[in-house]
Amino acid sequence: MVANLWNHKGSDEVGFDDLVHCAPPPATDTYQPLSHNDFAFNTHNLGQEILGKTGYSLAEEKYLVSPDRQKMFFMLSYNNGSDGLQMVAAGRNSYDKSMRAGVAIGSAGRVIICDNLVVAGEVVVMQKHTKNLFQNLRKNLIVAFHEATGKWRDLTNDVNRFKEVQLDERDAHHFLVSAGRKKAISKSVFFDALGEYHEPSHEEFREPNLW
């Protein structure tokens, strides 16, 4: 599931094919536009090319454009068929010089992009709309996808180690109480966390282990 593409400014959700109708303005001596369609298309292709070699596939995509079509935001979610984890690439672009072109990449839940211009992720690439915009952005995106893949491997290894640590009821209760005392979890969610141990909401957490 695609997560954390926030719409706070009344942007319109569109399909990828609709982006071709958002024509960029002409270039100037100091400004090099990048069409919304080309940006999303090339990010998608790079993701498929680089991540596909390690078993990832595109699971979901989502696109937003501002009412005046001057700004575009997108999110691409990739699955690798392992552990229910997802990698996300989220991007933004503008024609009105309000923001740089940018992409944030990382595991789902750690990537945020919003039409109020907020962008965050484990790996973030930003590029001004100046000469050689496309070449520089492509080069940095290639590096970013490879870097994010390495971070994913670290996360997957952590998940596998957590799954090897079995927790009985006594261990789970002790762990949660200790987390509460150290303020790692708040009092307001303590019983929710305890309930998730006994009756998990998600199938992947049914086994009584640290994960």
User: What's the confidence (pLDDT) of residue 61?
Assistant: 93
What is Dmax (Cα atoms) for the chain? Answer: 68
- H-type helices in the chain, by residue range? 36-52, 133-164, 169-181, 187-198
User: What's the confidence (pLDDT) of residue 14?
Assistant: 95
The pair phi, psi for residue 101, each rounded to 5°, is -70, 140
Question: Which of the pair, 156 or 47, is modelled with greater confidence?
Answer: 47
> In terms of pTM, does the model score above 0.75?
no
* Both tokens assigned to 88: 């996300």
Question: Which residues are bridge partners to 65 per DSSP?
Answer: 12, 72
Mean pLDDT across the stretch 162-184? 74
98-139 per-position pLDDT tens digit? 999 999 988 777 787 777 777 777 788 899 999 888 888 888
Residue closest to 208 by CA, chosen among 169, 180, 160, 170:
169
Highest mean pLDDT among 6-10, 41-45, 51-55: 41-45
Angle among Cα 104, 136, 139 to the nearest 5 degrees reads: 70
* Both tokens assigned to 173: 């209760």
